[in-house]
Amino acid sequence: MTQDFPLPQHSRIVETDEDTLAMAAQAIRDGKLVAFPTETVYGLGADAASDRAVASIFDAKDRPQFNPLIVHFADAGQAALEVVFDDRARKLTQAFWPGSLTLVLPRRKDSSISLVASAGLDTLAVRVPDNIIARALIETSGRPIAAPSANRSGTLSPTAALHVELSLRDKVDIILDGGSCAVGIESTIVDLSGETPTLLRPGAIPMEDIAALLGPIALPGNGSAVKAPGMMSRHYAPSIPIRINITPENRQRGEAYLTFGPDAPKRAALNLSRKGDLKEAAGNLFAMLRALDMPGIRGIAVQPIPDVGLGRAINDRLERAALSLEKRALPKSIPDVNA
């Protein structure tokens, strides 16, 4: 099969060891961009205290300036220097940090974090990643690291170092290879800057687990301000049409069928989890969408996914992808790729 995008002649991917980690940490201190693994997806990192460095993230991703970034810390103590924790935040961080939970909290008046990272808001989106390479990079650089997903804005999030290189090319200085991401779907984002906890983005930590600690969780209303990543309606989109909640009899010719569970049709392109495991499905989501987003495939039909726990986060990503491409029609008279 001919590749649409040849690999760069001089790869920026480096195997992570003591020397390359030190090199990447110096790059962060020098205001450069470093892609690194987390348990969720690969992040495109820069010194969170440097306006210029953070601005270079937006430029590299072609990202809207009003969409805030997540700032990553080595531990909760480091984060507490920049944001105000209340009892709710302390309860959640004790339960889920390090881990795939991002909290939106009031920024301290003396915070060193660039206002560019928070899009000028008086809140910050913060988390402590559950990945040894990510935390080692933060500790070695001595800087909090602002990092959205390491891909062009609006495209599929990267869950492997190669995905980063294919998406960003020469816009990233170093890519630390940490293998495939353990979780493979972005962090859950909860806003604690107001009186009522609000789920801004479903993610790897199910809302039910958070509600078990805090009680009822609100959802943002229509027209809510963009306070965290993942709130844009057009997001996580492949380049071909995607239709969701499609049963076998409603597939169209030319669509690759992305299925879920042991009872899924055998004539399918890929199955997110033959065991019906939502955690496995979340880990496979972006990689499988990326695998199907290729020449010869004119569209992707996705079997219904249970809308509970991690399934809610998976459906959120799929709905955004479908929304951004829903007006593209499938060409007629094309082969059945599931045959």
Question: Measured in whole angstroms, how far is the alpha carbon of residue 336 from the centre of its chain?
Answer: 31
- List the structure tokens of 54: 């953070």
Q: Can you spell out the DSSP letters for 165-212?
A: HHHHGGG-SEEEE--S-SS-SPPEEEE-SSSS-EEEE--SS-HHHHHH
The Cα-based distances of 119 to 14, 113, 126 in angstroms read: 31, 11, 14
Q: Is 157 known as a binding-site position?
A: yes
Beta partners for 14?
A: 176
Q: Is 269 known as a binding-site position?
A: no
Q: Can you spell out the DSSP letters for 240-307?
A: S-EE-S--GGG--TTEEEEE-STTS-SS-SEES-TT--HHHHHHHHHHHHHHHSSTT--EEEE-----
Q: Is 67 known as a binding-site position?
A: yes
Q: Is 40 known as a binding-site position?
A: yes
Q: Is 233 known as a binding-site position?
A: no
Helix axes 132-141, 18-29, angle to 10 degrees: 50
Q: Is 50 known as a binding-site position?
A: no
Q: Is 112 known as a binding-site position?
A: no
Q: Is 20 known as a binding-site position?
A: no
Give every CB contact of residue 266 below 8 A, 6+ residues apart in sequence: none
What does the alpha-carbon distance between residue 232 and residue 221 come to, in Å, rounded to a whole number?
Answer: 13
Residue 5: Cβ-neighbour burial (10 angstroms; 0-12, 13-18, 19+)? exposed
Q: Is 93 known as a binding-site position?
A: no
What is the DSSP code (8-state) at residue 123?
A: E
Q: Is 180 known as a binding-site position?
A: no
Question: Per the annotation, where are the binding residues?
Answer: 40, 63, 67, 72, 123, 127, 147, 149, 157, 187, 201, 236
Question: Per the annotation, where are the binding residues for ATP?
Answer: 63, 67, 123, 149, 157, 201, 236
Question: Per the annotation, where are the binding residues for L-threonine?
Answer: 40, 72, 127, 147, 187
